[in-house]
Amino acid sequence: MSRLDSFIRRLEAQRACIDRAVALAAPLPGPVIEVGLGNGRTYDHLRDRARGREIFAFDRHVAAHPACVPDAAHLLLGDFRATLAQAASALGGKIAICHADIGSGDEAASQALGAEIAPLIDALMAPGGIIVGDQVMRAARWEELPLPPGIEPGRYFIRRVRA
Amino acid sequence: MSRLDSFIRRLEAQRACIDRAVALAAPLPGPVIEVGLGNGRTYDHLRDRARGREIFAFDRHVAAHPACVPDAAHLLLGDFRATLAQAASALGGKIAICHADIGSGDEAASQALGAEIAPLIDALMAPGGIIVGDQVMRAARWEELPLPPGIEPGRYFIRRVRA
């Protein structure tokens, strides 16, 4: 499999998992958080698929396409560990969908970051909320959900907060 | 359609067109040129799909994944207009497949670059050779070929050098 094949497969998995998360969270009110705005492609996708939901995006700095940058009230810039913790006063227990695509080229650092921010994300999630993303993340009240058909285990992850 | 949808569609079109070009050029001996190495994903794809063919990559500078950088004898660095012209002495009339993914964010500049380098690419191509890429490019002895099924016209282009 070429790197082009692998990249396409990763993006298709990402899209299928986000779409699944949006469908699973349909009965639940509440905003979306996008942890890692990056180039803004998945933010745009969430905006399209989860219409009507408020979306708050977190990142260190803005590197997104200008059409995919949220307004200042929905953009939380800085280290995830600080901004996710700060968001708890306004958003704690309210989030219906979290998408966290936080992997960098450094696999060990990405895993460590995932482990560090899982409890901070957990504090924001509503009961029944869905957490979808590219890293292993665990919290006591989360259950792993099966991936959409055709997606290799470990490529992406979907969990639900037990109600 | 979200930017994620559009990006996936573009990559799938790119892959399908490269695979088609490799199949069309199968009866023809000769090397491949990759005009625009970029991150090296399509170089890796060509290396996988067009096994046994020499591949020469052209770019301004190396921004590719370390595993996708050709050796010095197959890497021609500098302005395409200079390096493609210089390559004519060694490769003129010999190339079986050219892949040229040269678009930048600036559409007018990308179109102008495509028009400028088309004659330089033409000089390298063998009769019957296939030119696949992301920009409109024309040469007197090229004919446009149909795209693989499901790909919107204008997303990618395939041409054959008349024999």
pLDDT of res. B148: 97
- Residue B48 structure tokens: 């996988």
pLDDT at A163 over 90: no
pLDDT of res. A36: 96
Choose the closest CB to B40 out of A3, A11, A45.
A3
Note the residue count of chain A. 163
| Contact state of A4 with B68 under an 8 Å Cβ cutoff | no
CATH number of A3-161: 3.40.50.150
pLDDT tens, position by position, A100-127: 999 988 999 999 999 999 999 999 999 9
Asked if B163 and B27 touch (Cβ cutoff 8 Å), the reply is: no
Instruction: Work out how many CB contacts closer than 8 A connect A with B.
Output: 60
**A90: contact with B, CB 8 A cutoff:** no
The H or E element spanning position B145 is: strand B142-145
Buried-state track B1-36, b at ≥16 Cβ within 10 A, e below 16: ebbbbebbeebbbbbbbbbbbbebbeebebbbbbbb
For B92, residues 6+ apart whose C-beta sits below 8 A from its C-beta are B123, B124
Burial class, B161, CB count within 10 angstroms (exposed 0-12 / middle 13-18 / buried 19+) = buried
Q: Tell me the backbone φ, ψ of residue B154, rounded to 5 degrees.
A: 95, -15
pLDDT at B105 over 90: no
- Residue B54 structure tokens: 């020499």
CA pair distance A65, A55, nearest whole angstrom: 16
- In the stretch 134-153 of chain A, residues with CB closer than 8 A to chain B read none
| Contact state of A8 with B8 under an 8 Å Cβ cutoff | yes
What is the mean pLDDT of the segment spanning B38-53? Answer: 96
CA pair distance B16, B19, nearest whole angstrom: 5
**A49: contact with B, CB 8 A cutoff:** yes
Choose the closest CB to A4 out of B1, B2, B45.
B45
pLDDT tens, position by position, B109-146: 999 999 999 999 999 999 999 999 999 999 999 999 99
pLDDT at A13 over 90: yes
pLDDT at B96 over 90: yes
pLDDT of res. B103: 93
**A83: contact with B, CB 8 A cutoff:** no
Closest by CA to B144, choosing from B118, B105, B117, B111, is B118
pLDDT tens, position by position, B141-158: 999 999 999 999 999 999
What is the mean pLDDT of the segment spanning A70-98? Answer: 97
Distance from CA of A41 to the nearest CA of B (A): 5
Buried-state track A119-143, b at ≥16 Cβ within 10 A, e below 16: ebbbbbbbeebbbbbbbebebeebe
Q: Which amino acid is at B150?
A: G
For A97, residues 6+ apart whose C-beta sits below 8 A from its C-beta are A21, A22, A25, A30, A32, A33, A46, A50, A53, A129, A130, A132
Band the pLDDT of A146: cuts 50, 70, 90.
very high
Share the mean pLDDT of chain B.
96
Q: Domain residues of chain A, as ranges?
A: 3-161
Give the residues across from B124 on adjacent strands: none
pLDDT tens, position by position, A126-144: 999 999 999 999 999 999 9
Interface residue of A1, A3, A99 to substitute, partner B, most B CBs within 10 Å = A3
Closest by CA to A31, choosing from A77, A114, A117, A90, is A90
Rounded percentage of chain B residues whose pLDDT exceeds 70: 100
Distance from CA of B52 to the nearest CA of A (A): 15
**B63: contact with A, CB 8 A cutoff:** no
Share the mean pLDDT of chain A.
96
pLDDT tens, position by position, A16-46: 999 999 999 999 999 999 999 999 999 999 9
pLDDT of res. B120: 98
**B8: contact with A, CB 8 A cutoff:** yes
Q: Which residues in chain A touch residue B2, judged by CB atoms under 8 angstroms apart?
A: 41, 44-45, 47-49
Complex ipTM over 0.90: yes
What is the mean pLDDT of the segment spanning B51-72? Answer: 95
- Residue A153 structure tokens: 């285990």
- Residue B91 structure tokens: 């490769």
pTM of the model: 0.92
pLDDT of res. A105: 82
